[in-house]
A and B are shown apart, each in its own frame.
Chain A
Amino acid sequence: MKELKLMKGNEALAEAAIRAGCDAYFGYPITPQSEVLEYLSREAEQRTGMVVLQAESEIASINMVYGAAGTGKKIMTSSSSPGISLMQEGISYIACAELPCLLVNVNRGGPGLGTIQPGQGDYFQTVKGGGHGDYRLIVLAPATVQEMADFVKEGFELAFKYRNPVMILTDGALGQMMEKVELFPQQERKFEELAWATTGKSANRQKNAITSLHLKAEQMEEVNIALQKKYKEIEKNEIRYESINCEDADIIITAYGLVARICTKSAQLAREKGIKVGVLRPISLFPFPYDVINKYANKVQGILDVEMNAGQMVEDVRLAVNGKVPVEFYGRMGGVVPDPEEILKVLEEKFVGAAV
């Protein structure tokens, strides 16, 4: 039987964490995602025995995640932009020590303290590294409250499949808005001893150490080579995207998350005017759907990339297109959400009359 509910994005995400059998959540309040910690504080422990702890800072939360994830349990944290910045050292350690865990960034407008309104200014930070060293997060970008919930389950699966931190990159609007969501059933919280985890050295195995320290350059290079090999594997297997009316399109809009939904409306308005527009929405931002975009670039006259930032994902779109067709960019910044009509207007200015 379907379990349908009307929920805020942040609450759907928190509910999904409980249902996915998450073992512990460590977090610190920050708008626009405090509902995650609040919801879990109310619901989680009594329902599944999940640990929920309000830490003294995001630095503490991410390092609690580091310790707890080392036991092989399902561990998560969430925050919004400034808090995620504070976590970067810890995320780098987690990536190097190859600890599975789920991180959530409910992106707000920046830089600095910025605004509590939604933004996408953390694309570079999330997708290209953020912390120090060569590492990658698997990044999932939901566009609906439904995906806010579903990606928690999927995120944990990917994290454990690759022993890699996964980040859900969403924004303040998706976190706050209410939509219908179909909830997946409660999964049992079960604990599986993992070979590498620090759970207490039993007599029948070697001791385990969770570390990111490899003092000899050659050893550190080996670790890096192994990480890069894993990332290649992830790039091969885990690309996710949604293509909306792209097959017959003359122009494609690329956008992720909430903006992709707005652009879908713009595309619909364009089609009403006889302009064939499709929307290509990368769902996994790492791995990025370069090949898919590259193939579409053979068929279309141009691509418009739309983001709530000064142009970040557009760099990946341009890499994918590799000069085949013009790639234009339109962005609003600082927490301003573009509307479908203004995007259509930009699209017409850039492409219609000129080429089409």
Chain B
Amino acid sequence: MNEKALIDDEHFEHTLRSEHTEIISPENIVYEKPGTLLDVDMHYCPGCGHGVVHRLLAEVIDEMEIQSEVIGVAPVGCSVLAYNYLNIDMSEAAHGRASAAATGIKRVLPEKYVFSYQGDGDLAAIGTGETIHTCNRGENILIIFINNGIYGMTGGQMAPTTLEGMKSTTSPFGRNVSTMGAPLKITELVAQLPGTQYVTRQSVHKPGNVRKAKKAIQKGFELQKQGGGTCFVEIVSNCPSNWKMTPIESNHWLEDNMLPFYPLGDIKTPNGRK
């Protein structure tokens, strides 16, 4: 909220007048921690998108009242400890294999909601085979794909999604597509497969985008109940630490550099291609 908004509108007046009203009474609460998000310290760096997406997941699970019916799979990557933050049953899979583990769970507990949560190295490099085949079989799971264009956990190496020219510790002079390959748009790729029913790309770098990302995650769970194939929600995210930027700089950089290459919006919906 900017300063101007604080001083010039009635809101300010109201705040002055109601100095002694009880603002934490339940009817006044406009924002609180979702029950599915545990009250523990997260290890994420300040401003990192992972934390925001965890919160969205928790909100959706709470609002859909499906906490007892959800089983999640955490990846190897910065979100490896997701099971410590979400108050649901979870399994921590080997690097790249989260969608295979999720397949195993969903096949034996088909009535449950199953999701995997994976980074770009996990899902689009070491786990490419599992990603493609899980989507191709149309497993009725939700895949949440956090694309920050980098290997966050291991300290900023090049990911399959690292942009052309982007510097990382293993592309110190910028990604050279002639020797390192071009950034992989795996989301567009899985949208080609008949097994996917809903494929979308969202971001959490601005409040409006956060709201849209939440809707996408919710849709991913809702569609899962009806069967019909894999739901795949990419979230273009940031990694301030390894991009070597402040959180705000990283969000601007994301908008200026990531989004032109990874455009936001639905790529495939159950009613046909968008």
Contact = CB atoms under 8 A, between A and B. Distances in A.
A73 B70 CA distance: 17
Contacts of B269: none
Nearest to A209: B83
Contacts of A56: 129-130, 133
A51 B67 contact: no
B102 A67 contact: yes
A292 interface: no
B92 A213 contact: yes
A162 to B, nearest CB: 20
Interface residues of B, number: 34
B105 A67 contact: yes
Interface residues of A, number: 38
A73 B108 CA distance: 8
Given A66-B101, A200-B71, A71 B93 contact: no
A198 B107 contact: no
A208 interface: yes
A66 B86 CA distance: 20
Interface in A47-71: 51, 53, 55-57, 59-61, 63-71
B112 interface: yes
A237 interface: no
B89 interface: yes
B91 A66 contact: yes
Contact of A64 (B68, B89, B107, B129): B107
Contact of B103 (A23, A64, A207): A64
B73 interface: yes
Given A64-B101, A66-B93, A211 B68 contact: no
A63 B104 contact: yes
Given A60-B130, A207-B88, A68 B108 contact: yes
A63 B129 contact: no
Nearest to A68: B104
Contacts of B74: 211
A138 B73 CA distance: 27
A68 B70 CA distance: 14
A212 B74 CA distance: 12
B78 to A, nearest CB: 13
A75 interface: yes
B211 to A, nearest CB: 27
B94 A90 contact: yes
Given A60-B133, A63-B101, A198 B80 contact: no
A166 to B, nearest CB: 18
B69 interface: yes
The CB with the most chain A CB atoms within 10 A, among B67, B88, B89, is that of B89
The CB with the most chain A CB atoms within 10 A, among B67, B105, B112, B129, is that of B105
Nearest to B106: A67
A285 to B, nearest CB: 26
A113 interface: no
Nearest to B97: A63
Nearest to A72: B108
Contacts of A296: none
Given A24-B104, A60-B129, A66-B91, A200 B97 contact: no
Interface of B: 67-71, 73-74, 80-81, 83-84, 86-94, 97, 100-105, 107-109, 112, 129-130, 133
30 contacts: A51-B107, A60-B97, A60-B133, A61-B100, A63-B101, A64-B104, A65-B104, A66-B101, A66-B104, A67-B73, A67-B101, A68-B105, A71-B109, A75-B108, A89-B94, A90-B94, A93-B94, A198-B71, A200-B68, A200-B70, A200-B88, A200-B89, A200-B109, A201-B87, A201-B88, A207-B89, A207-B90, A209-B83, A211-B83, A212-B92
Given A51-B108, A67-B101, 14 more contacts: A23-B108, A60-B133, A61-B100, A67-B100, A71-B105, A71-B108, A71-B109, A198-B105, A200-B69, A200-B112, A209-B83, A209-B90, A211-B91, A213-B92
